[in-house]
Amino acid sequence: MTRNTLLEVEHLSMKFGGLMAINDLSFNAYEGEITALIGPNGAGKTTVFNCITGFYKPTMGMIRFKHSENKIYQLEQMPDFRITAHAKVARTFQNIRLFSGMTVLENLLVAQHNKLMKASGFTVLGLVGIGPYRKEAKSAIELARFWLEKANLTERADDPAGDLPYGAQRRLEIARAMCTEPRLLCLDEPAAGLNPRESHALNELLRAIRTETGTSILLIEHDMSVVMEISDHIVVLEYGQKISDGDPAHVKSDPKVIAAYLGVDDEEEAVKIVGGIV
Ligand SMILES: Nc1ncnc2c1ncn2[C@@H]1O[C@H](COP(=O)(O)OP(=O)(O)OP(=O)(O)O)[C@@H](O)[C@H]1O
């Protein structure tokens, strides 16, 4: 099966003073796939996300995002709000950033604010008329309902987001990002702090996103049970450089990855240790 490249990161480097957080990194993410970015603490994963989503301007390198062969965005040259609005890249953060005083449903509708304002023609008359705004408002509610159901939050729709259990808040954040109808969804440690049941519900939601919308996902995650279970493709970083790239089976048995995770310099030694454990 041919894979269409969605994201091409080429020779990306990011320097903070004397620290090379990302060092000549190249990798691809493909349409409709879940790509995981993994690596030990401080490997540079969040910095890569920040470069892709325009929070940082990379020191060097290119980030190409292809909607089609004719429509390619150079993300490293775009401000963050354009990356969200035009290139359609959405993200969540390591710490939850919901509107906690608003209800679950309101959080999902607020995410569609841009689309609704555009339909109003940015006028009060547009809001009260029977034109495109009403149609968009209806479709916004339908989309919110769809993601409420996929995130298993329909029963909590009218509760303040801040009252939800932690795992449900994580799912709501993802549902909210999906209401912006992204081409690429970047998730920074979505399974952090979840119990096994919540982790399972998260996996289900991510699978539903892939199968039902075809949205591609770029995932930073430390929980290997989540990574190995749902990823199509894994890129491993250590000290800002790529040390492995392939499917879960390849990455899992790569001596360089095992050595990086065990903090052992000698790759043969690392493989022996893992062999002794499993
Ligand atoms: N704004 C910044 N200023 C200075 N140094 C930074 C900045 N952001 C990140 N770093 C440094 O860059 C390196 C990579 O950090 P980054 O947060 O990208 O790693 P990570 O792989 O996401 O780590 P973790 O898994 O712990 O979240 C670290 O040494 C970090 O201290």
Write the ipTM.
0.96
Closest C-alpha to ligand 1, atom 26: 41
Q: Are residue 12 and residue 79 in the same domain, yes or no?
A: yes
Q: Using one digit for the tens of pLDDT, what is the confidence trace for 194-218?
A: 998 999 899 999 999 998 898 999 9
Eight-state DSSP code of residue 32:
T
Q: Does some domain include residue 93? A: no
Ligand 1 atom with the smallest distance to the CA of 39 is: 21
Tokens of 99: 């509107």
Q: What SS3 class is residue 228?
A: helix
Q: Does some domain include residue 94? A: no
Ligand 1 atom with the smallest distance to the CA of 49 is: 18
Q: Are residue 153 and residue 189 in the same domain, yes or no?
A: no
Tally of structural domains, the chain: 2
pLDDT at position 118 over 70: no
222 or 114, greater pLDDT: 222
Closest C-alpha to ligand 1, atom 25: 41
pLDDT at position 48 over 50: yes
Tokens 């509610």 sit on residue: 141
Q: Are residue 177 and residue 200 in the same domain, yes or no?
A: no
Q: What are phi and psi of 271, to 5 degrees?
A: -65, -40
pLDDT at position 94 over 50: yes
Antiparallel, parallel or unpaired: β 216-220 and 184-188? parallel
Cα–Cα–Cα angle for 180, 185, 36, rounded to 5 degrees: 170
Q: Are residue 208 and residue 151 in the same domain, yes or no?
A: no
Average pLDDT over residues 73-82: 95
> Which among 129, 162, 181 is the end of a domain?
181
Ligand 1 midpoint to CA 85 (Å): 26
Q: Are residue 205 and residue 176 in the same domain, yes or no?
A: no
Q: Using one digit for the tens of pLDDT, what is the confidence trace for 255-271?
A: 888 888 766 666 666 55
97 or 96, greater pLDDT: 97
Query: Given ligand 1 and candidates 12, 38, 45, which is best to mutate, with the most ligand atoms within 8 Å of its CB?
Result: 45
Instruction: Say if ligand 1 is within 6 A of residue 43 CB.
Output: yes
48 CB neighbour count, 10 Å cutoff = 28
Q: Does some domain include residue 257? A: no
The alpha carbon dihedral of 126, 132, 134, 137 has a sign of: negative
- Half-sphere CA count of 196, side-chain side, radius 13 A: 1
Rounded Cα distance, 241 and 225, in Å: 23
- Half-sphere CA count of 1, side-chain side, radius 13 A: 7
Q: Are residue 2 and residue 82 in the same domain, yes or no?
A: yes
Taking CA atoms, 248 is separated from 49, 175, 254, in Å, by 21, 26, 10
Q: Does some domain include residue 275? A: no
The alpha carbon dihedral of 244, 250, 251, 254 has a sign of: negative
Q: Are residue 115 and residue 225 in the same domain, yes or no?
A: no
> Which among 138, 156, 181 is the end of a domain?
181
Residues 168 and 153 sit within 8 Å (Cβ to Cβ) = yes
Q: Are residue 116 and residue 143 in the same domain, yes or no?
A: yes
Query: Given ligand 1 and candidates 9, 12, 14, 19, which is best to mutate, with the most ligand atoms within 8 Å of its CB?
Result: 19
Closest C-alpha to ligand 1, atom 11: 21
Q: What are phi and psi of 181, to 5 degrees?
A: 50, 60
pLDDT of residue 277: 43
Q: Does some domain include residue 168? A: yes
Average pLDDT over residues 137-155: 88
Tokens 């209806």 sit on residue: 138
| CATH number of domain containing 20 | 3.40.50.300
Q: Does some domain include residue 228? A: yes
28 bridge partner residues: 8
Per the prediction, the chain carries an average pLDDT of 87
Terminal Cα distance for the chain, rounded: 33
Rounded Cα distance, 83 and 237, in Å: 24
> Which among 120, 153, 181 is the end of a domain?
181
Q: Are residue 42 and residue 147 in the same domain, yes or no?
A: no
pLDDT at position 1 over 70: no
Instruction: Say if ligand 1 is within 6 A of residue 55 CB.
Output: no
Query: Given ligand 1 and candidates 22, 46, 222, which is best to mutate, with the most ligand atoms within 8 Å of its CB?
Result: 46
9 or 258, greater pLDDT: 9
pLDDT of residue 115: 67
Q: Are residue 82 and residue 105 in the same domain, yes or no?
A: no
pLDDT at position 3 over 90: no
Q: Are residue 4 and residue 32 in the same domain, yes or no?
A: yes
Closest C-alpha to ligand 1, atom 30: 42
- Print the domain residue range for 159: 99-181
Q: Does some domain include residue 259? A: no
pLDDT of residue 258: 85
Average pLDDT over residues 45-64: 96
Residues 232 and 218 sit within 8 Å (Cβ to Cβ) = no
Residues 204 and 167 sit within 8 Å (Cβ to Cβ) = no
pLDDT at position 113 over 90: no
Rounded Cα distance, 120 and 136, in Å: 9
Q: Are residue 76 and residue 189 in the same domain, yes or no?
A: yes
Residues 30 and 218 sit within 8 Å (Cβ to Cβ) = no
Q: Does some domain include residue 277? A: no
Tokens 């998730």 sit on residue: 187
Instruction: Say if ligand 1 is within 6 A of residue 47 CB.
Output: yes
Average pLDDT over residues 237-250: 94
